[in-house]
């Protein structure tokens, strides 16, 4: 035989890294993970109505999506946000790094503050939007819909900063609604009432720390709480028992999605397609095309996508615009086509509902400029309402309106309402 003998036999000794890796093999048996709050949510899930949120099984509803919505607006609603992607960004250059990656001026974000931001690829297309928490002068948490570790790590070259994905390690809850701060106070988070909108502070909990920020996705009074995963259940119990007399209820995504639409907030890969997922090149969007132009800070120096954004603005290459619509009648216009003069297609509704708070039929839509931008007259939406196996085709007038669709004083009132 002309052949050499075989080499590289299978190694018998596995080192520590290998055994940790091998120990993680069994994930294939559970395609949808439970979050750290799962035992509590399971106990409340009377509808058993689940969806897949980034590999976790998350509730669409728990007992009644209508009533869950009203819990947000009249009581206190508890929503599990643990599946949200979270990155811990830390180091002497963390501020400079994030200033370079994201659109807003991070040097203006003081420790103990949060801002809503977005970030782009080099072509100026939006990779995602999310919230940036400044936990200390040198430590941040970035929360987002999609995953961005390669982008963040590649962008970190040349900065003294570490980026770590901590989605599974950190559990999160949103507590939203008019009684939410009263619940926090009753739960013993002393001094929580001093938090102003977009403030954050750390509070002791169960021998550890919970980070509470006056933030949320509902346009209502509320906060978000982050704890290490092993403190999740005790935090849940603490809030639920304190909130019992204030109508606290756990809710699913359907209710939250209604509240966010009333607040005029957009959802990545629902209202726009993120750049790393857009298969079709014409689906890419610049911040100015999805209503995030306000974030762009041209004074602050270079950031990813700056050159492309400047060029697009200068050469008027921005083709789309995201707008709020108010539509006549009360039939939701979900995914309806938007027309100019009833016949020329100019856009698509990405989210729509009849708003119980605004008492109006509202929608978020992406239009092709100049429609929705300089031409806002004579816009219509064609609603296909399926009623007992027949489409009722409706052509309804749509008016471009400012977002948010509702503005609740209690969201920003200081001190927060105490009832």
Partner 1 sequence: MKAWDAIIIGGGHNGLVNACYLQRAGLDVLVVEKNDWVGGAATSRELTPGFLYSNCSYVCSLFRPEIMRDLELPRFGLQVISYEGGAVFTRDGDYLANYRDHDAHRREFARFSKRDAEAYDRYSRDVTRQCRFIQPLLMRTAPDPTSFRPRDIGELLYLGKKFAGLSSEEMALTLRFWTMSISEFLDEYFETDVIKANFALSGIIGTALGPMSPGTAYVLLHHYMGEVDGSVGAWGYARGGMGAVTKALAASFKASGGTIRTGAEVDHVLVGRGKAKGVVLAGGEEIYGKLVVSNADVKRTFLKLVEEKELPDIFLRRVKNFKIRGSSGKVNIALDSLPEFPALPKDSPVYRGDMHFTDSMERMERAYDDWKAGRWSADPFLDMVIPTTLDPTMAPPGKHFMSCFVQYAPPKVNGREWTDADRDGFAESVIAQISEYSPGFRDRIVHMEVRTPREIEAEVGLTEGNIFQGELAFDQLLFNRPVPGYAQYRSPVGGLYMCGSSTHPGGGVMGAPGRNAAAEILRDLAKSTSHMSPAHDVI
Residues that bind partner 1 (CB under 8 A): 1-12, 14-15, 18, 21-22, 24-29, 31-32, 52, 54-55, 123, 146-150, 153, 165, 276-279, 281
**Least spacing, CB of residue 147 vs partner 1, in Å:** 4
Q: What is the largest CA-CA distance in the chain?
A: 88
Residue 121, CA atoms < 13 Å, CB-side half-sphere: 13
Residue 281 vs 314, nearer CB to partner 1 = 281
- Name the β-bridge partners of 87: 142, 165
Residue 46 vs 277, nearer CB to partner 1 = 277
Residue 305 vs 372, nearer CB to partner 1 = 305
**Least spacing, CB of residue 280 vs partner 1, in Å:** 8
Burial 87-113 (b: 16+ CB within 10 A, else e): bbbbbebbbbbbbbbbbbbbeebeebb
Residue 150 vs 191, nearer CB to partner 1 = 150
**Least spacing, CB of residue 309 vs partner 1, in Å:** 16
**Least spacing, CB of residue 350 vs partner 1, in Å:** 19
Residue 45, CA atoms < 13 Å, CB-side half-sphere: 18
**Least spacing, CB of residue 235 vs partner 1, in Å:** 25
**Least spacing, CB of residue 1 vs partner 1, in Å:** 4
Phi, psi at residue 27, to the nearest 5°? -55, -25
**Least spacing, CB of residue 305 vs partner 1, in Å:** 13
Q: Compute the distance between CA of residue 41 and CA of residue 51 in angstroms, rounded to an integer.
A: 14
Residue 279 vs 314, nearer CB to partner 1 = 279
**Least spacing, CB of residue 407 vs partner 1, in Å:** 36
Residue 72 near residue 176, CB atoms below 8 Å: yes
Residue 192 near residue 203, CB atoms below 8 Å: yes
For residue 213, give the nearest of 197, 227, 229 by alpha carbon: 197
Residue 339, CA atoms < 13 Å, CB-side half-sphere: 12
Q: Compute the distance between CA of residue 215 and CA of residue 67 in angstroms, rounded to an integer.
A: 22
Residue 282 vs 377, nearer CB to partner 1 = 282
Q: Compute the distance between CA of residue 28 and CA of residue 268 in angstroms, rounded to an integer.
A: 27
Q: Compute the distance between CA of residue 225 and CA of residue 171 in angstroms, rounded to an integer.
A: 8
Residue 12 vs 302, nearer CB to partner 1 = 12
Residue 5 vs 390, nearer CB to partner 1 = 5
Q: Element (H or E) spanning 314, and its range?
A: helix 306-314
């Amino acid at each position: 035989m002309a052949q050499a003998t075989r080499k590289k036999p299978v190694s018998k000794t596995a080192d520590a890294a290998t055994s940790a890796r091998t120990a993680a093999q069994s994930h294939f048996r559970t395609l949808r993970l439970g979050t750290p709050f799962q035992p509590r949510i399971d106990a409340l899930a009377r509808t058993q109505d689940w969806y897949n949120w980034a590999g976790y099984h998350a509730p669409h509803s728990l007992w009644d999506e209508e009533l869950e919505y009203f819990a947000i607006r009249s009581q206190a609603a508890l929503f599990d946000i643990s599946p949200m992607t979270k990155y811990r960004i830390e180091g002497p250059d963390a501020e400079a790094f994030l200033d370079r990656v994201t659109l807003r001026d991070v040097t203006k974000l003081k420790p103990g503050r949060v801002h809503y931001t977005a970030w782009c690829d080099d072509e100026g297309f939006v990779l995602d939007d999310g919230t940036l928490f400044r936990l200390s002068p040198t430590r941040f948490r970035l929360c987002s819909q999609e995953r961005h570790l390669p982008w963040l790590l590649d962008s970190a070259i040349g900065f003294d900063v570490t980026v770590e994905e901590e989605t599974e390690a950190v559990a999160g809850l949103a507590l939203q609604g008019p009684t939410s701060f009263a619940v926090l106070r009753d739960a013993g988070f002393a001094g929580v009432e001093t938090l102003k909108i977009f403030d954050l502070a750390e509070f002791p909990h169960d021998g550890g720390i919970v980070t509470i920020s006056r933030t949320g996705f509902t346009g209502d009074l509320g906060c978000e709480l982050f704890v290490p995963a092993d403190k999740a259940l005790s935090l849940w119990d603490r809030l639920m028992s304190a909130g019992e007399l204030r109508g606290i209820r756990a809710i699913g995504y359907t209710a939250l999605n209604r509240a966010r639409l009333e607040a005029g907030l957009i959802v990545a890969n629902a209202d726009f397609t993120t750049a790393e997922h857009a298969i079709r090149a014409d689906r890419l969007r610049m911040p100015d095309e999805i209503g995030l132009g306000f974030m762009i800070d041209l004074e602050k120096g270079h950031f990813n996508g700056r050159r492309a954004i400047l060029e697009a603005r200068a050469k008027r290459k921005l083709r789309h615009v995201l707008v709020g619509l108010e539509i006549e009648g009360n039939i939701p216009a979900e995914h309806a086509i938007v027309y100019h003069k009833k016949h020329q297609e100019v856009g698509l509704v990405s989210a729509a509902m009849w708003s119980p708070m605004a008492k109006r039929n509202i929608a978020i839509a992406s239009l092709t400029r100049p429609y929705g931008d300089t031409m806002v007259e004579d816009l219509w939406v064609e609603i296909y309402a399926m009623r007992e196996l027949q489409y009722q085709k409706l052509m309804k007038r749509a008016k471009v309106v400012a977002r948010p669709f509702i503005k609740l004083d209690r969201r920003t009132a200081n001190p927060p309402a105490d009832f």
